[in-house]
Structure 1
């Protein structure tokens, strides 16, 4: 039997609890075999480096990239989006769908199940169709419907174990029945695209019982937090503070102000936040026209909005064009979040939320060898997934 080769990396190492200013990460086969200060490394000498070494990043809400769209593209094109995000350091991701007619949702779920079975994605996130028409955002209002356990069963069957999370609104008819079915099948419920008031949101959170819950892109797709009508935002923040919810944030400077991102980190910490790209097909592409499910999208100055005969500055935002690495960088450089907390929100917290926290998301001995090396500008220098270096054109 051929012995596994050990790869060693040296630089500023970001663990889940600290920054090692001069550290070494050793990878043997597909596992991390050692992490620590360079002064304690007993193996062969490793040259010093000005790089920063992060765990591979985890995106639990992503609709596509590099011109490919998980809700729309044919099977042959779906991996293109995965590879774009992987080349930028996202070594684990869920492929997100949007509200669509049942046959379309079932068909795309089945296609994405192939990517799940090949190991290219960690699963499927279904955003809708059990959502509020009043807060549908870039979701197709014609595709929205009441909670339908029968449709969910069809989606679970088409997914062949791939469906990991689903966004639904607490106020839709059938919420409880759908939520119960999600729990029975170990699918993560995520509250979002909701017009619910605070009491309705709290009842929904309480009804989900013990187990992980997330908020789909907090603040976006829900009422503004008002001091006399706090709505779902206050309840989601409170639930995160109690330790029962993880809050998705699209911290790209478009969906949320940097000050909002910093405030949420100050309130609940990176262990309760998942930075998500919500990226659509235009991520990594030039401005132009794209699709997001059944709807047309126009991207101008890298901002995606629904194509409507209205002011493009006020049309609903239609997903993002960033990667999780972009969000981690912005959290640190623009929002003033600590590097450890930002990386935690980009890696270990989302990994834990989808049940993979024991294997990915941290630079720790025994974890899968998923590593992102970045330069002083936080641009990728090297991406390693499962111990294998990723090439940009792979």
Structure 2
């Protein structure tokens, strides 16, 4: 049994100013206030470990490269507080995606990652961003089932542009959404040129997530509000947020927090360049140049993922956006865990997994304890 004492503990009901947390066999067994014998954290912050729904790589390692590379990327992000990683694959030829999904399935069965997210290939050419346009495909239930089968039950999320139509078969993006929902997979709307009405139809069909809100989709317009407003009006839909100060202005993050309170999920969308500094890298088949922390395609300057880590995303939410730490913590842990149906983590309450992160007064990682 491990007891952490004299900590500022962020719980679902608020911050315990001088609290203790007890954990045993990888589970939280108690949380309270006052004095206890144990490891004195000297007033440090104790938060639930971060749950990142959108990770392509990190520390110089890409998820599209090998199983070993995924292990290294997960270790890199764990050092920044991420205790649950959903591995995201960029658009690529179907055989490449199927092979990578197999690696991720092995790691999911091992317990290292939470599963696989296919960010494509069923995306809009006009909003493909850093996705490889040559590998994009029209909606196809056969192709979707091939990818899901390759993941052996570990695919948790697929991003779809719901407005797409397959001219040969008549299948459309909504058909894919329905198939995903029927198989217990999260359908996410993203890299889409969907109108407000088309996005609303996708959410009505069961889509429950927006892939990096505002990026890779129509912006707000007073006569065509687009997918973000459709999501905000659809109960239970979660909006991913890349809170690096590059993809979204802090004022936009505050606005989303107001129109969809309690439904934001901080993500990194991190690529292999994260933590590596300036230089040229590959995102799938696309060449990326990183300068001063911003990743863009060499070809056309489109933003290409991020070099963000979850601790930095939380820190910016509190210090730059002005979101209270207990809310920012929910957006980094509880909300994304709930979006994936992971009811065993994301909050510091008895019975949940003892996934913890210790932060200093400036919200920088001091330690990510290993479960006892």
Task: Quickly name the TM-score band, shorter chain normalised.
Answer: over 0.9
- Residues 1:49 and 2:42 are matched in the alignment: yes
Deviation digits for residues 332-362 of structure 1 (CA, Å, limit 9, x no counterpart): 0000011111000000000000010x21000
Measure, in 2, the Cα distance between the counterparts of 1:171 and 1:375: 46
- Residues 1:218 and 2:213 are matched in the alignment: yes
Hey, what does 2:176 align to over in structure 1? 178
Hey, what does 1:391 align to over in structure 2? none
Equivalent of 2:251 in 251, 259, 277: 259
Q: Gaps spanning 5+ residues in structure 1: where? A: 389-394
Hey, what does 2:292 align to over in structure 1? 301
Hey, what does 1:359 align to over in structure 2? 344
Hey, what does 2:98 align to over in structure 1? 106
Measure, in 2, the Cα distance between the counterparts of 1:48 and 1:129: 46
Q: CA deviation at 1:382?
A: 1.4
Measure, in 2, the Cα distance between the counterparts of 1:109 and 1:19: 39
Residues 1-394 of structure 1 aligned to structure 2 (within 5 Å): 5-37=1-33, 39=34, 41=35, 43-44=36-37, 47=40, 49-71=42-64, 73-173=65-165, 174-208=172-206, 213-239=208-234, 243-269=235-261, 271-308=262-299, 315-356=301-342, 358-385=343-370, 387-388=371-372
Q: CA deviation at 1:46?
A: 5.4
Measure, in 2, the Cα distance between the counterparts of 1:131 and 1:82: 26
Measure, in 2, the Cα distance between the counterparts of 1:377 and 1:297: 31
Aligned residues of 2:5 and 2:41 also touching (Cα < 8 A): no
Measure, in 2, the Cα distance between the counterparts of 1:146 and 1:370: 40
Measure, in 2, the Cα distance between the counterparts of 1:130 and 1:296: 21
CA separation of 1:178 and 1:89: change in aligned 2, threshold 3 A = same
Q: CA deviation at 1:48?
A: 5.8
Q: CA deviation at 1:45?
A: 5.8
Aligned residues of 1:131 and 1:192 also touching (Cα < 8 A): yes
TM-score (norm 1): 0.90
SS of structure 2 residue aligned to 1:286: coil
Aligned residues of 1:11 and 1:21 also touching (Cα < 8 A): yes
Q: CA deviation at 1:321?
A: 0.5
TM-score (norm 2): 0.95
Alignment size in residue pairs: 366
Measure, in 1, the Cα distance between the counterparts of 2:224 and 2:260: 21
SS of structure 2 residue aligned to 1:121: coil
Measure, in 2, the Cα distance between the counterparts of 1:17 and 1:292: 40
Q: Gaps spanning 5+ residues in structure 2: where? A: 166-171
Aligned residues of 2:4 and 2:38 also touching (Cα < 8 A): no
Q: CA deviation at 1:6?
A: 2.9
CA separation of 1:116 and 1:46: change in aligned 2, threshold 3 A = closer
Q: CA deviation at 1:97?
A: 0.3
Deviation digits for residues 60-118 of structure 1 (CA, Å, limit 9, x no counterpart): 111110111112x1222220100000111100010000111111111111111111111
CA separation of 1:143 and 1:45: change in aligned 2, threshold 3 A = closer
Aligned residues of 2:7 and 2:40 also touching (Cα < 8 A): no
Deviation digits for residues 113-137 of structure 1 (CA, Å, limit 9, x no counterpart): 1111111100001101111101000
SS of structure 1 residue aligned to 2:232: helix
Aligned residues of 1:66 and 1:284 also touching (Cα < 8 A): yes
Aligned residues of 1:10 and 1:25 also touching (Cα < 8 A): no
Hey, what does 2:169 align to over in structure 1? none
Measure, in 1, the Cα distance between the counterparts of 2:174 and 2:40: 57
Measure, in 2, the Cα distance between the counterparts of 1:382 and 1:180: 42
